[in-house]
Amino acid sequence: MASNNRATQINKVLKIAKKHFKPVEIPPERTLLEHLIFACCAENSLYDVANEVFATLNSDYYDWNEVRVTSIRELTETMKRLNDAKDAAKRLKRVLQSVFETYYSFDLELMKKQNIGQTVKQLEKYNGTTNYTVAFVTQNALAGHAIPINHGLLESMRVVGVVSDKEAAKGSIPGLERVVPKSKGTEVGTILHQLGVELHRSPYGPTIRKLLLEIEPSCKNDLPKRPNKKALKLAQEKAAKEKLAKEKLAQEKRAKEKLAKEKAAAEERAKKAKAKKSAKKPVIKALAPAKKKPTKKKVVKKKSVQKKTAKKATTGTKKKAAAKKKTVTKKNSKSSAKGKKRASVSKKLSKRKPK
């Protein structure tokens, strides 16, 4: 669609929407986190109902951490007045979990000091945020120019011909921020939000059909059609089969991944065992000669020591024997000398004549 035609069509939508809906004031004193939580509640519900649910969450729970750890079933019960209570509970819980995992607290006021583009990128990374919640926070907490677009508004714009099917699939309405000035962004955003909520709440009701036909009389064939019971049943069965097939594929994938992990772990263990064995073998080879050499040396040393001790012992015994021989010879010489003296004395006496 040409930009001029799109702009005129958007202005037409705004003109007729203002006849049926009134602008809503958003409390400006809320913190960035509170705006984010309120957007999770209000995406597909009226602002008045969302305000009531927000007040209940704020009063019934001790703090946002208690809301974070509460089950989705309990949160759905608390938020049951919303048009999409279960989906809103999932969005809220995921967003609070992402915020907590990022900052370990629930204070996002420092993000206001950053550049708007940087803050928007951070918000988009949070699990649970949508195009609507990011645009709502940008408009109301960061003073940026962004019109929050919910699913009902996107479908309404598709029906009246403002956006094509491909543009609707992307979740954006090109040229909307250019047509709407920043000073009127909040007012126009609340009016268009109510239009989207009406289609989401009752897509086949007379109110939304009249309103869309008033905007574009030729859109009768594009209006949401109530599905045939048989077609609906077939669609549900098909969806159930597809779900089962997806679950089966997911299970098979998980089983394959588990087997692959186990196989990889077994291969790693085998590699480690081989590495240990290969590391042990050279050590044994290196140690074997090292053990033999010192043993030989020790044996040689022992033998040499034994020889030395044997030599010392033999020399000692020899010396002792020699000393003994000397003493014996001395004694023998002394005794022989004494014997000789006695013999000489006896001879002298025998030679003497008697008087």
Residues 85-135 have pLDDT tens digits of 999 999 999 999 999 999 899 999 999 989 999 999 999 999 999 999 999
- If we measure between CA atoms, which residue out of 218, 216, 219 comes closest to residue 15? 216
Asked, for residue 342, whether it belongs to a domain, the answer is no
CATH number, position 21? 1.10.340.30
Q: Give me the mean pLDDT over the 64-73 stretch.
A: 94
pLDDT for 293 beyond 70: no
Whether residues 214 and 143 share a domain: the answer is yes
State residue 72's pLDDT score. 94
* Residue 260 shares a structural domain with residue 111: no
Last residue of a domain, one of 216, 232, 248: 232
Report if residue 321 sits inside a domain.
no
Higher pLDDT, 324 or 294: 324
Task: Give the whole-number percent of the chain exceeding pLDDT 70.
Answer: 77
- The better pLDDT of the pair 292, 207 is held by 207
Indicate if the pLDDT at residue 148 is higher than 60. Answer: yes
> Can you give the residue range of the structural domain that contains 181?
3-232
- The domain boundary, picked from 178, 213, 232, lies at 232
Q: Are residues 170 and 283 in the same domain?
A: no
Verify that 165 and 282 share a domain, yes or no: no
Q: 207 and 274 in one domain?
A: no
* In the predicted structure, residue 288 carries a pLDDT above the cut 90: no
- Nearest CA-CA partner of 44 in 132, 128, 150, 133: 150
Instruction: State both tokens at 82.
Output: 């919303």
Task: Give the integer Cα–Cα distance in Å for 129 and 39.
Answer: 9
Do 262 and 282 reside in the same domain of the chain?
Answer: yes
CA dihedral sign, ordered 328, 331, 334, 340: negative
User: pLDDT by residue (tens digit) across 198-237?
Assistant: 999 999 999 999 999 999 998 888 888 887 777 778 888 8
270 and 179 inside one domain: no
Q: Is residue 146 part of a domain?
A: yes
Q: What is the pLDDT of residue 79?
A: 95
Q: Per the structure, how many domains does the chain have? A: 2
CA distance 175 to 2: 10
Q: Does some domain include residue 303?
A: no
Last residue of a domain, one of 232, 262, 283: 232
**Do 107 and 10 have their domain in common?**
yes
